[in-house]
Amino acid sequence: MTTPVVSVAPETCVSDVARLLLERHISGVPVIDSAGRLVGMVSEGDFLRRAEDGSHRHGSWWLRLFSGSGANAAEYVKTHGRSAADVMTRDVVTVTEDTQAGDIAHLLETKRIKRVPVVRSGKVVGIVSRADLLRGFAAQRHAPAVPASVEDETIRKQILEEIQAADWAPTYGVSVVVVDGIVQVWGVVDSPEQGEALRVAATNAPGVKGVELNVSSIPAYAWGV
């Protein structure tokens, strides 16, 4: 999973949510209330339904007749609302930290979603996307098909804790995969120095045999897109 998780509040303005998705190069973001509870997800798909560009289609009158006033009213809120709470998907599919990668892949496929929040005791602690799964499978391409060892998981948690506590950590987060003591770090960084700091943090963890850094930098001009 990727951690820490970028999130928004229910009252966050729709335009601010859209800007966040563009700046962080992500396609969806969890909506978390003041108590830390997951209440919804806003994705790029939700913005495709927006009417602000004047392209919203009202559909045929007979379809609206059979869908009922309640459904029509809910659709209006989604296409005209101004906050994350208005446009978000409320029925969010989640997994736990113990959910197997194969089960997550099956979930993403059957539910036709691109990402799923990872929840611990009702709080979001990470998010797994299709890209995260591909990274994990790539990292284990030469490893036997067995669950990660206790040692590998301990190393992974130590590295993530070190990164999360750092004031230089990437604004979006990174994915860390450990197989037989070999660490793979994936993510997006703002500078080469940030990538080097990730390498050092991973190298310093007890039990690490090697580090493979798989990060890309965001060009300065990309922030103005």
Q: Is residue 139 within 8 Å of residue 179, measured between CB atoms?
A: yes
- Position 137 scores a pLDDT of 67
Q: For residue 116, what pLDDT is reported?
A: 93
Q: What is the pLDDT of residue 52?
A: 47
Following CA atoms 59, 61, 63, 66 in sequence, which dihedral angle do they give, to the nearest 10 degrees? 150
What range does the domain containing 188 cover? 140-225
Q: What is the number of other CB atoms lying within 10 angstroms of the CB of residue 172?
A: 19
Residue 130 domain-assigned (yes or no): no
Question: For residue 225, what pLDDT is reported?
Answer: 34
Q: In whole angstroms, give the CA distance from residue 202 to residue 211.
A: 7
In the predicted model, residues of the chain with pLDDT beneath 50 are 51-56, 61-63, 67, 69, 142, 144-145, 219-225
The answer as to whether 67 is a domain residue is no
- According to the model, what pLDDT value does residue 219 have? 45
Distance CA 47, CA 121 (A): 30
Whether the pTM exceeds 0.75: the reply is: no
Asked if residue 181 is part of any domain, the answer here is yes
Q: Is residue 103 in some structural domain?
A: no
Task: State how far the Cα of 50 lies from the Cα of 220, in Å rounded to an integer.
Answer: 29
Q: What is the spatial distance between Cα 70 and Cα 205, in angstroms, rounded to a whole number?
A: 55
Residue 147 belongs to a domain with what CATH number?
3.30.1340.30
194 strand-pairing partners: none
pLDDT of residue 199: 93
Q: Is 59 within a domain?
A: no
Does a structural domain hold residue 204? yes
pLDDT score at 223: 36
* Predicted pLDDT at 208: 95
Q: Are 198 and 159 in contact (CB under 8 A)?
A: no
How many angstroms separate the CA atoms of 145 and 120, rounded?
Answer: 26
Measured CA to CA, the distance from residue 221 to residue 59 in angstroms comes to 40
For residue 209, give every residue at least 6 positions away whose Cβ sits within 8 Å of its Cβ, in sequence order, or none: 180, 181, 182
pLDDT at 32 (0 to 100)? 95
Q: Indicate the number of domains in the chain.
A: 1
**β-pair partners for 38:** 32
Residue 148 belongs to a domain: yes
pLDDT at 140: 59
Examine residue 52 and state whether it is found in any structural domain, yes or no: no
222, with CB counted inside 10 A (0-12, 13-18, 19+), is exposed
